[in-house]
Chain A
Amino acid sequence: MSRSAARDAGDSPGHDTLWRLAAHKLLRDRAGLLALAVVGIYLLAAIGVWLGWWAQEWALITGSKWGPVSAEHWFGTNIIGQDIFQRGIYSTATAFQVGLLVAVLAVAIGALLGAVAGFLAGGWVDEVVLWLLGVIDAVPFYLMVAAIAFALADYPYSMHVAMVSTFWTGTARLVRGEVIKLRGLEFVEAARAIGVPGVTIIFRHVLPNTFHILLVKFTLVFVDAIKSEVVLSFLGLGVKEGMSWGLMLSESTLEFLAGQFNNLIVASSLLFGLVFAFNMLADALQDALDPRRAA
């Protein structure tokens, strides 16, 4: 948090800042901490994959068809003899890669456009941004994402582009509303009065005061991105290279008739665990960062 934001949030001797209060509250939230720990474990698994420590043989055939659970294959093997656990762990990295990339970009774009639109509310810039929000939101989400992903079929990041181009709108709406509220406050009026340029006001004084919203929104977009990735991959519109839980779930449809469920169980359990933990974390952050509760 920037210094000015901290000051704006009431940082003065003898008073806790919003952030300090929030951290204090979060540390007392056992469910929130548990969720944070779970997310941390997933993140560690993903980092291990990125650094080449584990799950590097996910593409190799290391066992027999539908090999049973064993010390070598913790969750057995799939229809062509690949290790299901390794594929599941590798998919964690995919989930984080998609989640992080999409959440960072979508929240950044949403924050930027939302802040500008909010600060210039009523002007033509605001009109354009609102029109864009309306147009994008009018298209059913999965239809929009599928159309973009399909149109960019050969581009390895087509799914990311599709998700970013739709996920930023929620953040933009929230930030716009918050900025409209903030721009009428005294510190903004004061900045204007002493001649601080509008851009500076937005980026140094207004936007930092929306960080608590952005942080919560980031976790929600992160979860949405992971879920969408799974759905799109299941439908064949998602991950092009590599492995993902969606692909594993899709793969598991080949195995039901034969009574094989390991792919399904591993992929859905890992997905469930991460999404559940992230949702709990988002709830905890929301509680902690809510100024009324934090106070």
Chain B
Amino acid sequence: MAPHYGAASQRPSLQTADLRHAVSRRDVRRAWRWQNAGVLSAVPRKKPFPRQCAPGRALPCLLALVLVACGDRPVPAPAPDAELPAAEGIKTFHHSLDAAPSSLDPVQASNVYANHVVLNAYDTLFAYQYLARPYRLKPNLAAGWPEISADLLRYRIRIKPGVRFQDDPAFPGGKGREVVAEDVVYSLKRQFDPKNRPQGAWFWQGRIVGLDAWKEAGSDYDREVPGLRALNRYTIEVRLTRPYPQLLDTFAQGYSAVVPREAAEHYGPELGIHPVGSGPFKVVSYDTSRIVFERNPYFRQEPVDLAAEGYDPATQRYTGVERIAGRSPPFVDRLIIDFASDEASRWNSFTKGNEIQVAGLPVEKVDEVLESRDPLRLKPEYAARWQAASGTEAGFVFETFNLDFPEFGYHPDPVRAQRNKALRCAIIKAFDWEAHNQSWFFGLGNIFPGIIPPVVPEFDPTLSRASVTHDPEGARRLLAENGWTAEQLPVLVYGQMAGVRSRMFFEQFRAQLMEIGWPQRKLVLKQYATFGDISRAWKESRLPLIVKGWGLDYPDAENTLQLFYGPNGSPGSNDANYRNPEFDRLYEQASVMLPSPERTELYRRMNQMVIDDCVAITGMSRKRIHLWHNNVVALPDREIVGGFFLRYVDVLPPGESARPAEAGG
């Protein structure tokens, strides 16, 4: 998925941080908005007056307060926990997301928020290990690793017996029944039934034998799909049209969550607000501002094996996660997730102490809260109350040229095509990633060349950094050498979602191009009111420059390389409409290979092609800093693990610290 700059939603995880990007994911994207509003509420409570409001400077401050009070207001505070029924004596974990899910129906879990929630109400065959970094898959509903045929075309997956769906009126007598292999088959078929308005079919399109034909034939659930069958009560067989090394990763996504047929038929479209699954939690209330879960009493008993979860005592002991070893999740009785788009409101709620217990550190607060960025260390006054962890996002932000625009991209005249390439290269040189990083991410971003981000194993740290080095002189020279004058330079429309942050992104971009001689009047901002609007503009190839971000669906560079695969051109995920036969050939070759040095080499060659052809201004992976209250036992993650981590969260009584004594707790 790729968010628009300024809005980013990544899928199974990504950060919320800033985003001038909106994360899109093939056809399925959704933006989350910049958090621009409600700033007054973000003034730290322990600091009655900001530095500028010292006595003697009252007038400016008064003006500031009056204006802000008349301006944007914080999101209304959610109802206090005390208003929830029977809260006393119940262990509650309360956190927030920066936007509400689009739907709780797995077939529509198209953004990070929906995925985050769906994974707690439903089960998936596989999941990501809670603590392993880099991320690693593990069986979840699956009883173990699948049997895979030698030609990599047939998978047999056995599911755990005795797992049951939560009680719901959809079932006879209101009692949940056992989850069986047919449920998995049914749930995957739902992605190919147009009536469900599915958004995740692209994972399996053309990959599973007979599934596309099943859809063409009318999506009759009683009709068997040759490549997707329940062999018996607990075994599923998947037959592929060609090897698909990322298949098991797709079975860890919310899209593949297991839905009982009774519930889907009982609720119809309302399944999107009434989830019925076998996950660790059961939804008890849900609206656009909050979702409340309670522990699913029937969730299978599976004591936590920290080693199997990838626990690293050297780096993770401070979190106190050893406390959950040998116990069966979930550990809290109630899980509350507020949907609050305003970052300042979330920060206020977190610092208040008795509301949300986990928050991302706003970049504006980095210097105030942190004593050290690397290694990450809180200032003592904050360390007494909070824990912290940081991680690089599983994705990146970038800008691509739409090569279908003859002013910048492909051109029938080879000379002009070459000049266009020089033009793109000059823009790339003019772009100042460091300034962008400092301005918007307080230097916390990880700038890298190309389209393989640092979070995946195929990342090449030795790659030349020329493509991410600000070189206005080189840009001017390149323009001059290729005959570009101010009069000849084309009008460049910078499409963005409406919002002050995206406007400022544009201003920064414009100033950098003005530095190399681009006339101000030829740099135009076009703002779109909604992510849907700008997404349509991308798909319809109406913008010469696409500003976006991409959140990895799984930790494999294939997920970003497909953004430049020719057949994925507009309206597909290849918004750049990059068409390089050699790139496409390598992509097709690599897409059926298992992870190996040979495949990594192919990935890197493709990466270099994108750099050499000056297709994109790329890239930067942002770093997110998570903070959580000391009495919370957790290692929060918004990346690949995403919603899976909530089942492992435990909450100690107020005043207690999860941090082991030897770790300074």
Number of B positions contacting A (CB below 8 A)? 45
Hey, which chain B residues are within 8 Å of A154, CB to CB?
A: 526
A251 to B72, CA, bound (A): 12
B67→A268 contact, CB < 8 A: yes
B389 within 8 A of A: no
A82 to B365, CA, bound (A): 22
Comparing A23-31, A123-131, A258-266, the segment that makes contact with chain B is A258-266
B64 within 8 A of A: yes
Counting residue pairs across A and B whose Cβ atoms lie within 8 Å, the total is: 99
> A80-B435, A234-B71 known; A261 and B39 CB under 8 Å?
no
B71→A251 contact, CB < 8 A: no
A44 within 8 A of B: no
Shortest C-beta distance, B429 to chain A (Å), equals 16
**B interface residues, Cβ below 8 angstroms from A:** 36-37, 39-40, 42-43, 50-52, 60-61, 63-64, 67-68, 71-72, 343-344, 347, 362, 364-365, 435, 438-440, 498-501, 503-504, 507-508, 510-512, 514-515, 520, 525-527, 529
B362→A257 contact, CB < 8 A: yes
A256→B500 contact, CB < 8 A: no
Shortest C-beta distance, A31 to chain B (Å), equals 21
Q: For chain A, what secondary structure do more than half of its interface residues adopt (helix, strand, loop), or is it mixed? A: loop
B511→A61 contact, CB < 8 A: yes
B39→A253 contact, CB < 8 A: yes
B499→A236 contact, CB < 8 A: yes
B507→A80 contact, CB < 8 A: yes
Shortest C-beta distance, B476 to chain A (Å), equals 16
A247 within 8 A of B: yes
Name the contact of A61 in the complex, choosing from B61, B500, B508 (C-beta under 8 A). B508
A203 within 8 A of B: no
> A65-B439, A236-B499 known; A257 and B507 CB under 8 Å?
no
> A65-B439, A257-B39 known; A236 and B500 CB under 8 Å?
yes
Hey, which chain A residues are within 8 Å of B515, CB to CB?
A: 60-61
A269 within 8 A of B: yes
A260 to B40, CA, bound (A): 12
A256 to B440, CA, bound (A): 14
Shortest C-beta distance, B628 to chain A (Å), equals 19
> A59-B510, A59-B520 known; A257 and B500 CB under 8 Å?
no
A108 to B552, CA, bound (A): 58
Question: Which residues of A, 47-89, contact B by the 8 Å Cβ criterion?
Answer: 59-61, 65, 79-82
> A80-B511, A150-B529, A247-B503 known; A264 and B439 CB under 8 Å?
no
Number of A positions contacting B (CB below 8 A)? 32
A256→B40 contact, CB < 8 A: yes
A258→B364 contact, CB < 8 A: yes
Hey, which chain A residues are within 8 Å of B63, CB to CB?
A: 264-265, 268-269, 272
B500→A59 contact, CB < 8 A: no
Hey, which chain B residues are within 8 Å of A79, CB to CB?
A: 439-440, 504
Residue of B nearest to A265 (CB): B60
A236 to B504, CA, bound (A): 12
Q: Can you name 5 extra interface pairs (CB under 8 A) apart from A80-B511, A249-B67, A261-B60?
A: A59-B507, A247-B500, A251-B503, A268-B63, A272-B63
A91 within 8 A of B: no
> A80-B435, A150-B529, A253-B37 known; A261 and B52 CB under 8 Å?
yes
B50→A251 contact, CB < 8 A: no
A250 within 8 A of B: yes
A221 to B273, CA, bound (A): 49
Hey, which chain A residues are within 8 Å of B36, CB to CB?
A: 250, 253-254
Shortest C-beta distance, B620 to chain A (Å), equals 16
Shortest C-beta distance, B537 to chain A (Å), equals 12
Name the contact of A261 in the complex, choosing from B37, B50, B508 (C-beta under 8 A). B50
> A80-B439, A268-B64 known; A253 and B500 CB under 8 Å?
yes
Hey, which chain B residues are within 8 Å of A268, CB to CB?
A: 63-64, 67
Name the contact of A60 in the complex, choosing from B67, B72, B511 (C-beta under 8 A). B511
Residue of A nearest to B37 (CB): A253
Residue of A nearest to B38 (CB): A253
Question: Which residues of A, 145-186, contact B by the 8 Å Cβ criterion?
Answer: 150, 153-154
> A150-B529, A249-B71, A259-B52 known; A80 and B60 CB under 8 Å?
no
